[in-house]
């Protein structure tokens, strides 16, 4: 069986060669197009990221094609109708980096509650004075988790390990959720009762400005806001207003409202994304960056070795499961 990988980096090639040693593998670091297709037209399996074109006109080059294993969550770069008509199975990587993002959420929380950035800044300058560096404990505090999917659940689990109470606002509350420290509430209640609010919903028409100038005033005086989901879920002006009013005492953001239309995080590490989207300028334009009690990371929450490795190991498992006649993570069927 011949597998053609596109959009691969050198480290990915090494991993895949080892993991799929029994198969004939061909690698191309460029995206799949009508031109790059010509070298591998006899392949049985294609594996790409999102910058490859897997529309009918390109796929028609591959008479033996039986499986597309995209190394992404999204699959709108793939012509699913063509695949259905031509009996090509398509599978994806439904989720990756759940621990990575949940841990980054707590990195932001702890950096704010233990005043880590000013503490480190100060000692680097040889100043060991404690004035203004008093922090607060997480134990006994309430964490409000908005969105209870893969990441929100893991954040709530970590919260209970810190002996926090977790309250959750999500679209479909799971009332049978087996953790008595987790309670499902409505949006106004989560804003009123939480010491820390952390966002884990996708950005949709419904969640755009879910937290806004009207409802941010409900938040507890001195509370902390964390956003590792998508910038536009919170109205930026509302954050600035709440900081000025002392409603928010700290804000930790991995995402900002003006980031380019980003489909999934792995794209941030590609040449193609960087060529079209100047994240640095957008970050620098932001007023929030000048605030001392706001910490911002450059949309880096997903970026761990383990998360990127998970994409590859899921892809390998997808190929092996399909080869064994038990396809997994299939889409468009
Ligand atoms: P998920 O799909 O597993 O969970 C989303 C949750 O939000 C679900 O519980 C869903 O019911 C809930 N939800 C959806 N719409 C809602 C609404 N209108 N009101 C209330 N709840 C609603 O997603 P996930 O894997 O947990 O990821 C969450 C988000 O995190 C992603 O959509 C993505 O934007 C973001 N993310 C960020 C990074 C990063 O590096 N910063 C990395 C990965 C994901």
200, 209, 232: which to mutate for ligand 1, most atoms within 8 A of CB? 200
Which residue's alpha carbon is at the smallest distance from atom 17 of ligand 1? 171
The mean per-residue pLDDT over the stretch 235-244 comes to: 95
| Residue 10 pLDDT exceeds 80 | yes
Per-residue pLDDT, 273: 83
Question: pLDDT at position 237, please?
Answer: 92
* Chain center to CA of 185: 24
| Amino acid 279: pLDDT | 77
**Residues with a CB atom less than 6 Å from ligand 1:** 95, 101, 147-152, 170-172, 200-204, 206-207, 228-230, 254-255, 265, 299, 301-302
What is the Cα–Cα distance from 177 to 173, expressed in whole angstroms? 9
Burial 97-133, CB ≥16 within 10 A → b, else e? bbbbbbbbbbbbbebbbebbeebeebeeeeeeeeeee
Q: Whose CA is nearest to atom 3 of ligand 1?
A: 149
* Distance in Å, CA 200 to ligand 1 centroid: 5
Measured from the Cα of 201, ligand 1's closest atom is 7
Q: Closest Cα partner for 229 from 206, 211, 190, 255?
A: 255
Mutational test site, ligand 1, from 148, 171, 234, 264, max ligand atoms within 8 Å of CB: 171
For residue 277, is pLDDT > 90?
Answer: no
Q: Is the confidence at residue 9, as pLDDT, over 90? A: yes
Scan for tokens 């005492």, then name that residue: 249
Q: What is the pTM of this model?
A: 0.93
pLDDT of 261 over the 90 cut: no
Higher pLDDT, 273 or 130: 130
Residue closest via CA to ligand 1's atom 35 equals 229
Q: Name the residues annotated as catalytic.
A: 230, 259, 299
């Amino acid at each position: 069986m011949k597998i053609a990988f596109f959009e691969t980096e050198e480290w990915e090639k090494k991993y895949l060669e080892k993991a799929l040693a029994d198969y004939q593998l061909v690698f191309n670091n460029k995206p799949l197009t009508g031109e790059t297709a010509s070298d591998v037209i006899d392949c049985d399996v294609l594996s790409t990221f999102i910058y490859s074109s897997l529309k009918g006109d390109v796929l028609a080059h591959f008479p033996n094609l039986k499986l597309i294993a995209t190394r992404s969550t999204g699959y709108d770069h793939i012509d699913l109708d063509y695949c259905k008509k031509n009996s090509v199975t398509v599978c994806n990587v439904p989720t990756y980096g759940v621990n990575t993002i949940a841990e980054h959420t707590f990195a932001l929380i702890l950096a704010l509650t233990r005043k880590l950035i000013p503490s480190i800044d100060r000692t680097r300058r040889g100043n060991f004075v404690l004035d203004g560096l008093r922090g607060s404990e997480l134990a006994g505090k309430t964490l409000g988790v908005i969105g209870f999917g893969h990441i929100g659940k893991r954040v709530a689990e970590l919260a209970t390990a810190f002996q926090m109470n977790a309250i959750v606002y999500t679209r479909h509350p799971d009332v049978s959720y087996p953790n008595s420290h987790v309670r499902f509430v409505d949006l106004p209640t989560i804003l009123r009762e939480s010491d820390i609010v952390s966002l884990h919903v996708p950005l949709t028409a419904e969640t755009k400005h879910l937290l806004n100038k009207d409802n941010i005033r409900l938040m507890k005086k001195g509370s902390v806001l964390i956003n590792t989901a998508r910038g536009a879920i919170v109205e930026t002006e509302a954050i600035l207003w709440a900081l000025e009013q002392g409603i928010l005492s700290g804000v930790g953001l991995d995402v900002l409202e003006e980031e380019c239309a980003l489909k999934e995080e792995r794209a941030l590490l590609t040449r193609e994304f960087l060529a079209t989207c100047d994240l640095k300028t957008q970050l620098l334009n932001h007023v929030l960056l000048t605030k001392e009690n706001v910490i911002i990371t450059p949309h880096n929450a997903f970026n761990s070795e383990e998360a990127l490795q998970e994409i590859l190991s899921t892809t390998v498992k997808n190929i092996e499961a399909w080869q064994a006649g038990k396809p997994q993570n299939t889409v468009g069927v």
